[in-house]
Amino acid sequence: MTIMTFAAALNAGLRKALENDPKVLIMGEDVGTLGGVFRVTDTLQKDFGNNRVIDTPLAESGIVGTAFGLAMRGYRPVCEIQFDGFVYPAFDQIVSQVAKIHYRTQGRVKVPLTIRIPFGGGIGAVEHHSESPEAYFAHTAGLRVMTPSNPVDAYSMIQQAIALDDPVIFFEPKRRYWDKANVDLEHPLGFPLDRARVLRTGTDATIAAYGPMVATAMAAADTAESEGRSLEVVDLRSLSPIDFDTLESSVRKTGRLIVVHEAPVFAGLGAEIAARIAERCFYQLEAPVLRVGGFDTPYPASRLEMNFLPSPDRILAAVDRALAA
């Protein structure tokens, strides 16, 4: 076991993928010489060469379009979109071409393409650097969407994503890049990629979260425990597909569900999760499924972002409403 930051775990996972398969390539703005804005790709170009770790022009549509062609030719490219708000120039490539070619060719063409996107707020960044666009991609058939919440999953999930023959949108919670944990570098791949993980068992209510909000949900559960309430925390990990079986099993036990994400509540992933659980657990629910998320505004200036982002207190307020129902 090695103590690693989230960013270092991603770096180790990318290194392992490059070592294991010569068809794996990394490409993006400043991923080579600089090692990426967050240093996730640090030293990889030095060790694997500029034919494997490629600095690209500042052109997201070109990055994804080139990677799309490489994937169809048998390579396994890993694109880095420098910040979440920069993915939109490549949106047409992703949803119109990358997501659809496998279906259009009746399975003859595979697209083993991984698109890494740092997402979410909490780092005091400027405009267009703190978005939560996951619902756009989860809504698009043909894409897998996933997000690790901790260094252990970061190390394993990035390798699993790259090994898939499907296109993957891989969201990395940027404010968790400096979180640390013990990472097993020898046996990382035991947990299925598309399975949710119950991080904490409880009896009074279930909190479902993903990416940056998992740590916040765990903090809320710690506070609740000190107040005599027992909360179960489920890390969804995969956003498309979503592991509704694990979530349903938890809700059937607790009778209540609070879904937490940074994106605005309106038409966010919480809405789909709430609808599915209401259908599947109608007779077990003791209260309506509640959602806690960002407000229905553009992401605010950095001085205001902590008022926008869900906090443990906002989660606990929703728990209070659920328990009072």
Produce one character per residue of 231-240: b if its CB has 16 or more CB atoms within 10 Å, e if not. bbbbbbbbbb
Structural domain spans, the chain: 2-183, 197-324
Contacts of 254 (CB under 8 A, 6+ apart): 202, 203, 204, 205, 206, 232
- The answer to whether 127 and 302 have CB atoms below 8 angstroms apart is no
Question: What CATH code is assigned to 2-183?
Answer: 3.40.50.970
Averaged pLDDT of the chain: 97
Determine which one of 102, 128, 129, 187 is catalytic: 129
pLDDT in tens, 79-133: 999 999 999 999 999 999 999 999 999 999 999 999 999 999 999 999 999 999 9
Residues 256 and 206: their CA atoms lie apart, in Å, by: 6
Nearest CA to 34 out of 43, 25, 26 is that of: 43
Q: Is the pLDDT of residue 17 over 90?
A: yes
What is the pLDDT at residue 1? Answer: 85
What is the pLDDT at residue 194? Answer: 95
Least confident of 155-164, 180-189, 297-306: 180-189
Beta bridge partners of 205: 231
What is the pLDDT at residue 169? Answer: 98
Token pair 């990629």 is found at 193
Q: Is the pLDDT of residue 54 over 80?
A: yes
Token pair 């999760």 is found at 273
What is the pLDDT at residue 214? Answer: 98
Residues 165 and 157: their CA atoms lie apart, in Å, by: 14
Nearest CA to 15 out of 154, 113, 149, 144 is that of: 154
Q: Is the pLDDT of residue 46 over 80?
A: yes
Produce one character per residue of 84-101: b if its CB has 16 or more CB atoms within 10 Å, e if not. bbbbbebbebbbebbbbb
Confidence of residue 325 (pLDDT cuts 50, 70, 90): confident
CATH topology of domain 197-324: Rossmann fold (3.40.50)
Residues 43 and 49: their CA atoms lie apart, in Å, by: 10
- For residue 129, indicate whether it is catalytic: yes
Tokens (6 digits) for 181: 């944990």
Q: Is the pLDDT of residue 188 over 80?
A: no
Tokens (6 digits) for 40: 């996730």
Q: Which amino acid is at 120?
A: G
In this chain, the answer to whether the domains covering 2-183 and 197-324 adopt an identical fold is yes
Cα–chain center distance at 76: 20
Across the range 246-270, mean pLDDT stands at: 98
